[in-house]
Chain A
Amino acid sequence: MRARRGLSHTHVGSLHAPDAELALRNARDLYTRRQEGVSIWVVPASAITASSPDEKDAFFDPAADKVYRHPTFYDVPDGVAHL
């Protein structure tokens, strides 16, 4: 669901529907009763591939030792502007 123009879509919940068209209508009825969104995407749960929590450490490991990817890693000499 996109809450307002300019924001990205965010997951809001699940529902049952026989097809995509009805899934959209059901999502409108269930998740936008108070104008919570201006755009809805629906995806069948079976079409989602998820990473497994069991392999979380190994899977995300490559990013764990690369502190130099963050700007705070670098020492900036005193007095340098616009950096």
Chain B
Amino acid sequence: MYGNDFSAEDAPGGGLLGEVEAAEAALREAAARGRRGGAPGPDEDLEAYFTEVVDADQKIEPRDWMPEAYRKTLIRQIAQHAHSEIIGMQPEGNWISRAPSLKRKAILLAKVQDEAGHGLYLYAAAETLGISRDELVELLLNGRQKYSSIFNYPTLTWADVGAIGWLVDGAAIVNQVPLCRCSYGPYARAMIRVCKEESFHQRQGYEILHTLAHGTGEQKAMAQDALDRWWYPSLAMFGPPDTDSTHSAQSMAWKIKRFSNDELRQRFVDMCVQQAEILGLTIPDPELRWNESRQAYDFTQPDYDELMRVIKGQGPCNRQRMEHRRRAHADGAWVREAAAAYAAKRVEQKEKVAA
């Protein structure tokens, strides 16, 4: 069991997917429970009303009053999440044309298409907070908003596609499952959808590595090399250690965030150890061992200085990723313009017929 705010009995499917289902059930249950009379009265303190809704594990909806800082925090977080999905299409997209079989190619295409879909769900959720998708895209393109640092690492071999599915999507799921219980309704609902789809991504990655790890010596070495390169960057996906995390306390109080960075990182490590054993691969950490008293694995922390460098733009692929995104956006401009012109022409024709 991975969470401490809900019990194992709530998780019908078991594992992370079960937690997503439990979050969905809790969302419906909280909605059915209602709260006292409904909306705030004319003289009521809006902030107290907001706090009451959040404390009662009810959802805040787009037209409810909310503190300005809550709105800003959510816009930033949801937008960065959306950008990550969109930029995240690149490292794997790199292998679509070189996938080793038609089956793998079809699967990878579907997965990358899913990532685009996740980006769109999230942009739509952000738009309910009063910002447009065009503005958010602009914030990404001019570098004022970031995306997950993990996508600034290159995919050098086919095994990297497997490692991304297993580790990167795995870490993303561990991060995102608690977000299914986020206090902001549209975000929580988008996350439920995303998490259900992500579990296919994680399994397909694991299967790729499993196949390689049980293939020729060369293939196994390729799988091990991918694990060696992706392990620490995946651990860094959970963000800086709790002692250095700036946004955590307030986000916890608002129930945007449910667990600390270090708690989630630990949960991820504890899950991966057994999965790596079944793969027959070695996690590149000589300090990794079971700690009986903590009932968790001790492990080496990722290099947070490297994380900060990558976030600041000094990762191996930062420039390439942004250039590609800018070029794709510019190259797609004529499609958007043509569709808008066609729609305008159709409206004009209809008006003529009506006149």
Residues of B within 8 A of A15 (CB): 120, 124
C-alpha gap A15/B125 in the complex (Å): 10
The interface size of chain B toward A, counting residues with CB under 8 Å, comes to 26
Residues of B within 8 A of A52 (CB): 63
Known A54-B39, A57-B38, A57-B41: A33·B117 in contact at CB below 8 Å: yes
**Interface SS, A side:** loop
User: Could you tell me if A18 and B124 are in contact, using CB atoms closer than 8 angstroms?
Assistant: no
Q: Which single member of B39, B121, B336, B346 contacts A13 (CB below 8 Å)?
A: B121
In the complex, 8 of the A-B residue pairs with CB atoms within 8 angstroms, ordered by the A residue number, are A13-B124, A16-B133, A18-B336, A22-B339, A33-B117, A53-B64, A57-B37, A57-B39
User: Could you tell me if A60 and B340 are in contact, using CB atoms closer than 8 angstroms?
Assistant: no
- Does A55 have its Cβ within 8 Å of any Cβ on chain B? yes
- Does A5 have its Cβ within 8 Å of any Cβ on chain B? no
- Does B47 have its Cβ within 8 Å of any Cβ on chain A? no
Near B by CB (< 8 A), chain A positions 30-45 give 30, 33-34
Q: What are the nearest 8 A-B pairs in CB distance? A: A56-B39, A19-B343, A18-B343, A14-B124, A18-B339, A18-B340, A56-B38, A53-B63
- What residue in chain B is nearest A61 (Cβ atoms)? B38
Known A30-B117, A33-B113, A53-B61: A19·B39 in contact at CB below 8 Å: no
Convert B162-200 into 0s and 1s, putting 1 for each residue whose CB lies closer than 8 angstroms to a CB of A. 000000000000000000000000000010000001000
Within the complex, what minimum Cβ distance (angstroms) separates A3 from chain B?
Answer: 14
- Does B21 have its Cβ within 8 Å of any Cβ on chain A? no
Convert A4-35 into 0s and 1s, putting 1 for each residue whose CB lies closer than 8 angstroms to a CB of B. 00000000011111110010000001100110
